[in-house]
Structure 1
Amino acid sequence: MDFATPRKALRKEHFAFIRAIAQGVDPLKCWELYLRQESESVDARKVRTAIAWIRSEFAAAARRHSRPGLARLILIDVAQIKDLKLPSLDEFAQAEGLEDFSAAEIQQAYMDAYGRAATRAQRRTQLVHRQLEAIAWLETAISPRPRPGDPVGDWLAPALASRLSAAGMPTLFTVAERINSHGARWWAGIPAIGAGKAATVVKFFLEHEASLGMPIGDYARQPASALSAAQRDALVPAATALVPIEKLRLPAALDGAAGRFRAPSQHCTLQATNDLDAINEWLRIKGGGAQPDDAETNQTHRAYRKEAERLLLWSLLEAGKALSSLDTSDAARYAEFIASPPAHWCGRRQNRRWSPLWRPFEGPLAPAAQRLTLRVLRSLFSFLREQNYLVANPFSALRQPPMNLPLGSTRALSHHQWQAISAALDEGPDSELARRRARAIRWFYATGLRLSELANATCGDLHRVSVIDARRKTVHGVTLSVRGKGDRMRDVPIPQALILELSSELTRFGWPADVAEPVNRCVPILARFRAAAAGKPPPGWSDSGISKAVHRFMQRCASSLTGDDRRQVLKASTHWLRHTHASHALNGQDGVADSAMPIPLVRQTLGHSSLATTSAYIQADQAQHIQAMERFWEQNLQVGQ
């Protein structure tokens, strides 16, 4: 077997390059036009070397085709035959006043004047013409066609090829696969490859699509935001594979129609004949009538869909069972699986559901996430049992992973860390985006709202209230009506400073200052004012937009901190701000009890169904605990005496 380095393939750019050289175009300009790569410097020696290599390849090909004369012809450097720029016959006749002479007389006079120079120029013109014909013949006869298994170095510039190879794409096939799976920004994350080089690569594949047999999809040539619903839908075919639940096809033997634990169908209250139908019924009742990418799909529904989807895929692809045939031992195996899913089950969070790179997991689930998973699945099977679809719940007896730390204790910011964030907000730029971002962060901290709750809040949810306190004094304020988990409504008081800031932003963009004005009802709390269409309310900020903006701000803020402060702020998210609100509200300013809020009020603010959930945020100070126990003992000892 020949392990020699393969000969670099000639490309159509090489033929165009030599064709231009033969016609007298400056070699450096030819290189710029046909062979120069993005950000590559033009080197005269490199250009001369390239010309010599291409001509030698042309000559070798001509000899292989038994055309030795053509081989000698193609090696002639026409540029060495000096072009004297002689006048044409008409120009000569006009200059010499020979317009009335015959053509033969003019030709003779021309030869008398220029003689050998004219013959030499004529020969040069003929030579250029013959070389162009030779290049055209060679391009037809020897122009190679790329194949999927060809090394990238055979077809792409050396520097570009080496970068692709280093990124795990040594062949044309692997590059095309990357482009088609990642889309328009396939090059993101590959060192030293930007949009310009990426466009060069895509152009190559488009030009050689017929010989490669690997078409580049339309979606890979435009931003994801420009893709139509039909284009997205076509990216992932329906299959029994690692695909989103809406693309999953259940094999007849595993669809659950004859599941081991199915209840008699005549007693079932669900319009479901198989496991996928039953799951969709559960999701619909949980508030998920929307499509997978619909903005109206709420966060709770997405979380429930994710857990049901993962289990259904595992049941089919790993356990080889219908979901309605899973028993307690299967539930225990699944609990172990989510703690360490295989690599091929994992992908990046950024991979959208319509992408071929989508996967059910990002990696192993932390203990808290495992607890949530098992709780949701226990709820799913309880629902299916209550509706007489199943006769058993395999997750009901499963032991939950231990929760070693109090809720929020590792996902809450300290007072010092929050003060650093607050100071950074005060020093931020005076732009609409910066003000909106600051408003979001302050509202999350002040109210403990969930991401979806604040994203969906509008001025129409704000209400001015006047109530009488225990001292018979009138208290004025503003509350926000929030629809939380389980469709439970709650009223959350909003600090006056936040209302004043929102009022200022409304007036800045031509809306009434009073947040309770009827005309403001449709204006989102986190309105994107500059994106508003004429005569219409501004659109709100999406969940993902808020999350990304807060994350980026925390990254910048953390850069000025050190140690634990830096590490905590780097990890902070919108939900961390909810935990921070709970922790600071219940524990007071640096543990000062007088500044703490009563547990029932914090529970109402957060929308917790259980007081125990709210109580988990209380952080007992050991010194205070010891002192309190001493007081308890002393007081009770005195009573006994």
Structure 2
Amino acid sequence: MANTPQTVTKSRAVYTRNHFAALRAFVQRVPASTITRLYFSEDGDGNEATPGWVESFLRRMQAELVELALEYGSSVLADHLKSSAKAHGSARLTAVTLKMVEQAAIMAVARPEPSHGVGMWFRPLVAQRLKDAGIQTLAELVDFCNRRGGSWWRAIPRIGLGRAQHIVSWLRQHERELGVQVASDVVLDDPFRAPDADLVTIDTDSHVLAPLERLNLAHELAGTNGVNRHSSFPYIRASHDLDAVRAYLHHYRDQPKTLRAYTKELERFLLWSVTVRRKPLSSLLADDCEAYKDFLRAPSSDFVGPRASRTSGRWRPFASTELSSESQRYAVRALRAAFTWLVNVRYLAGNPWTAVSDPLIVHREDLLKVDRALPPSLWQRIRAYIDTQCDRQDGTYWRCIRVALLLSGDSGLRREELVNARREGMSPTHYGDDDETVWQLSIVGKRNKQRTVPVSPATVAALTAHWRDRGLAFETEKVGPLLSTLFIPRTVLGQKKYADGAALAYHVDGINKMVEWAMKRLSADLSKDLSVDELKLLAGTSPHAFRHTFGTHAAAEDVPLDVVQRILGHASLQTTSVYVQAEKLRMLREAAAFYRRPRVDDSAV
């Protein structure tokens, strides 16, 4: 047992446990004669080891392990070993540094195996997120990727595209050792760069517009030699403006909503810079920024068009020639923040936006479109109709819709909060009167702030039915998205993606389609019972309208505004107070109806 070979092997040596014990004694300055007596016996030919040979062997072993540690160990350990070798001719080890060298050497020659746990090879936070998704071993990770395709990482909370790319790259590097491989169709494309065949080159004579990922700028517009480029070594690997912009946006890869907003503002400004000013982004000065601020008030017709796919030639960066003052101010602030970051990472020498003031805005009384909120009577009729549809045997999709609408209409959740809400964040409490059970849900909302919202009994009942459709018991299961897809696409990719039957949360676009589908059927089936105004309201109802419905009804029922504010997650109580305007609007509508009534002619009395 004492001479059982260790994991550490080199091409010309196999080190046993005895060898490591002997090396530890050697490092602690135990005499070579004592080490020979304690750890080295006769060889196969009956020859006894001598103290001189043992000392020479241990020095060679130490040198090999140090070599492995320099190549595969941490940078701190490598720096320490190099400085020690420089001072003493060879690296001198203590008991502590020897242990670190041994660990580094073992990891250097260890080979990943399918049965290895993910914690052996990935950082603790990444490994924990994989384990939370039920992925324990490397074999299970490869299988998970192959079944779900390139978007496998979306099913694992807080594993963004960047981390997913590193994981897949590592798995492909070790395919031979693992004996399993990630399928070739598991492609994680850079979302900020389209394939070369789809790129659109813009030069000083071009008038074409294309989204950020399809842009390719000619040398004179690329910003390689921009007048505002920093003279010192930059902190990011960016040789031109497009690389710098993509590096900034990559910073928000784990915040999809913020990423979409910043991408829109930066690509608008970049396109304006190269097609209107005919200057690289890194050559713009304060007067250019002032000109763009004026441009935002009324974008030219070349930049405006109806909504179209980003791969279409009809795509345009603006949807309207009139931007609200709030949108103009948001654009200026977003660009100022982006340029500040580019200055901080030493890509740009200065920020021209610091010399530009924010656009003036009119502080409106009604900051929120509370007119989108559904009146109480209509909201109750919608709930009754949906309950009827849910009672049908084929009502699985309606039961899914009911969960979405109740989480918004009874708990005030946003779309993004709907798709990210998970069973782990939901728990029963006894804060009600007479020990009545009140469920609560912890979510991470806007501005990445966590809050807790109450969940109505009707929502809990709806969740129970929806989870039953998924083959799960809501009361006992503690893991998974609250709202999950139920229908598996018939495409090859779809079949692979859902092969394990695991729950996959909806995308925000899926919530939009779900509500649109439900409102169309509501309008068709209840057309005889609804007024023209109610039908118009349903036609324009979006998922956010049910959040407004909660806020308006809660304010009308005299729920304290600070409570409504905390449930909705508003940063300011002033924002929440707008819901009180719903009562004012109702008063004005009732007064208008009164004025329209026939009046008795006073002269006839």
Cα deviation, residue 298, structure 1: 1.8
Alignment of 1:449-528 (within 5 A): 449-466=413-430, 476-514=437-475, 517-518=477-478, 521-522=479-480, 524-528=481-485
SS in 2 for 1:529: coil
Question: What residue in structure 1 maps to residue 372 of structure 2?
Answer: 412
Summarize the Cα distance change of 1:425–1:325 in structure 2 as closer, same or farther, 3 Å threshold: farther
Cα deviation, residue 499, structure 1: 1.2
Distance in 2, matches of 1:612 and 1:378, equals: 26
Cα deviation, residue 624, structure 1: 13
Cα deviation, residue 257, structure 1: 4.1
Structure 1 portions without partners, runs of 5+: 1-226, 289-296, 626-641
Q: So what's the TM-score if we normalise by structure 1?
A: 0.51
SS in 1 for 2:319: coil
Alignment of 1:308-387 (within 5 A): 308-349=266-307, 351-367=308-324, 368-387=326-345
Q: Does 1:547 align with 2:515?
A: no
Question: What residue in structure 2 maps to residue 573 of structure 1?
Answer: 542
Summarize the Cα distance change of 1:548–1:382 in structure 2 as closer, same or farther, 3 Å threshold: same
Question: What residue in structure 1 maps to residue 596 of structure 2?
Answer: none
Contact 1:331–1:398 (CA under 8 A) maintained in structure 2: no
Q: Does 1:277 align with 2:238?
A: no
Distance in 2, matches of 1:534 and 1:277, equals: 38
Distance in 1, matches of 2:521 and 2:328, equals: 31
Cα deviation, residue 245, structure 1: 1.0
Q: Does 1:302 align with 2:267?
A: no
Question: What residue in structure 2 maps to residue 245 of structure 1?
Answer: 212
Summarize the Cα distance change of 1:370–1:428 in structure 2 as closer, same or farther, 3 Å threshold: farther
Question: What residue in structure 2 maps to residue 108 of structure 1?
Answer: none
Distance in 2, matches of 1:612 and 1:261, equals: 41
Distance in 2, matches of 1:556 and 1:369, equals: 34
Question: What residue in structure 1 maps to residue 126 of structure 2?
Answer: none
SS in 2 for 1:313: helix
Matched letter for residue 449 of structure 1: L
Contact 1:235–1:356 (CA under 8 A) maintained in structure 2: no
Larger Rg: 1
Cα deviation, residue 376, structure 1: 2.6
Q: What is the root-mean-square deviation in Å for CA atoms of aligned residues?
A: 3.7
Cα deviation, residue 443, structure 1: 1.4
Count of residues in Structure 1 that have an aligned counterpart in Structure 2: 375
Question: What residue in structure 1 maps to residue 350 of structure 2?
Answer: 391
Question: What residue in structure 1 maps to residue 406 of structure 2?
Answer: 442
Matched letter for residue 588 of structure 1: A
Contact 2:443–2:450 (CA under 8 A) maintained in structure 1: yes
SS in 2 for 1:492: strand
Alignment equivalent of 2:564, drawn from 602, 621, 625: 602
1:23-78 Cα shifts (integer Å, max 9, x gaps): xxxxxxxxxxxxxxxxxxxxxxxxxxxxxxxxxxxxxxxxxxxxxxxxxxxxxxxx
Contact 1:490–1:604 (CA under 8 A) maintained in structure 2: yes
Cα deviation, residue 397, structure 1: 0.5
1:305-343 Cα shifts (integer Å, max 9, x gaps): 111111111111122222233344433433443444344
Contact 1:447–1:605 (CA under 8 A) maintained in structure 2: yes
Summarize the Cα distance change of 1:310–1:588 in structure 2 as closer, same or farther, 3 Å threshold: same
Summarize the Cα distance change of 1:534–1:409 in structure 2 as closer, same or farther, 3 Å threshold: closer
The one of the two structures with greater contact order (alpha-carbon pairs below 8 A, sep at least 6) is: 2
Question: What residue in structure 1 maps to residue 78 of structure 2?
Answer: none
Distance in 2, matches of 1:464 and 1:492, equals: 12
